[in-house]
């Protein structure tokens, strides 16, 4: 199983959008995919239409090992290759557990070990803060996708995320490598990119090198519509908007082949 964290240390950078769209496409292309909602805001769980009862296990119980791994993994409606470990707002209470455990950085990685044969790809939607949950997510990841708004805020989010990654790599708390930076809400007016978007994407290139910059997610209502209609962009007739994810899937397919 290739574990990919989707992380960016600000709100509204496209983490959940990217997690969901990538998960749907990968599973449709034949990859058994496990999504993990690691954000107490639990938007991914909501978009996956999972209505949890208060006593049903989530990532919280998965991390605390109070249920078996399988019991916190839920199938998704209408797609037998896509599964979810959901979250609810109780997930916030795991922060103390992680920091008191002394092995917070490696905990999620260890908990995932029993299911590595069942899935080809695991995608984790990280929270926007530099929290204990974020650290355990990065610790579990083999690869990292950093979505960042094509704006001053997004550039800052990328810089902070890279800084955290390097600090964790330095102390051996993660082996994750950056798979790509995904410019989000890249704004074009007609055929010209807005000045702010262009400056932000140029800055991102300077941070990580052009080869790691993925094709942008353009500012567009279509992505929201696809999510709200539980559909894909190509099913809605906007195949070209899916291009950033096609490029990502190609990169992922190379990594999964290497893992064999
Ligand atoms: P958070 O840190 O709060 O979890 P996030 O990084 O997960 O945020 P998203 O929730 O994926 O970010 O996206 C932020 C908002 O942008 C959402 O309301 C989403 O519907 C919207 N959005 C998604 N795609 C686009 C797009 N291409 N253009 C404009 N808005 C978009
Ligand atoms: Mg989110």
Q: What string of pLDDT tens digits covers the 260 residues of the chain?
A: 999 999 999 999 999 999 999 999 999 999 999 999 999 999 999 999 988 888 899 999 999 999 988 999 999 988 999 999 999 999 999 999 999 998 999 999 999 999 999 999 999 999 999 999 999 999 999 999 999 999 999 999 999 999 999 999 999 999 999 999 999 999 999 999 999 999 999 999 999 999 999 999 999 999 999 999 988 999 999 999 999 999 999 999 999 998 86
Instruction: Establish whether residue 15 lines the binding site of ligand 1, counting it when its CB lies within 6 angstroms of any ligand atom.
Output: yes
Instruction: Tokens 């805001």: give the residue.
Output: 41
Kindly give the number of the ligand 1 atom that is closest to the alpha carbon of 11.
Answer: 2
Rounded to the nearest angstrom, the distance between the alpha carbon of 260 and the centre of ligand 2 is 31
Instruction: Establish whether residue 223 lines the binding site of ligand 1, counting it when its CB lies within 6 angstroms of any ligand atom.
Output: yes
Buried b (16+ CB within 10 A) or exposed e, 31-47: bbbbbbbbbbbbbbbbb
Strands (E), the chain: 2-6, 33-37, 74-76, 79-85, 121-125, 143-149, 177-186, 188-189, 192-193, 217-218
At residue 1, the pLDDT reads 97
At residue 259, the pLDDT reads 81
At residue 197, the pLDDT reads 98
- Tokens read off for 63: 């991390």
Instruction: Establish whether residue 12 lines the binding site of ligand 1, counting it when its CB lies within 6 angstroms of any ligand atom.
Output: yes
Rounded to the nearest angstrom, the distance between the alpha carbon of 172 and the centre of ligand 1 is 31
At residue 78, the pLDDT reads 83
pTM equals 0.97
CA distance 186 to 196: 9
């Amino acid at each position: 199983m290739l574990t990919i964290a989707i992380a960016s240390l600000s709100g509204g950078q496209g983490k959940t959008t990217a997690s969901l769209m990538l998960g749907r496409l990968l599973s449709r292309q034949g990859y058994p995919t496990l999504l993990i909602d690691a954000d107490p805001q639990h938007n991914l769980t909501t978009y996956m239409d999972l209505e949890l009862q208060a006593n049903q296990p989530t990532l919280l119980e998965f991390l605390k090992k109070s249920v078996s791994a399988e019991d916190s993994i839920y199938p998704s409606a209408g797609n037998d290759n896509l599964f979810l470990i959901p979250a609810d707002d109780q997930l916030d209470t795991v922060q103390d557990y992680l920091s008191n455990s002394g092995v917070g950085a490696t905990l999620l990685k260890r908990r995932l070990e029993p299911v590595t044969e069942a899935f080809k790809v695991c995608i984790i939607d990280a929270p926007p803060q530099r929290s204990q949950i974020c650290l355990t997510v990065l610790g579990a990841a083999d690869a990292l996708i950093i979505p960042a708004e094509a704006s001053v805020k997004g550039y800052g989010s990328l810089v902070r995320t890279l800084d955290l990654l390097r600090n964790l790599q330095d102390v051996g708390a993660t082996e994750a490598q950056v798979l790509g930076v995904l410019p989000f809400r890249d704004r074009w007016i007609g055929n010209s990119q807005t000045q702010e978007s262009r400056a932000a994407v140029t800055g991102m290139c300077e941070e990580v090198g052009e080869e790691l910059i993925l094709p942008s997610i353009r500012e567009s209502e279509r992505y929201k519509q696809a999510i709200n209609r539980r559909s894909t962009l190509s099913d809605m007739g906007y195949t070209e908007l899916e291009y950033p994810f096609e490029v990502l899937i190609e990169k992922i397919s190379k990594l999964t082949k290497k893992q064999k």
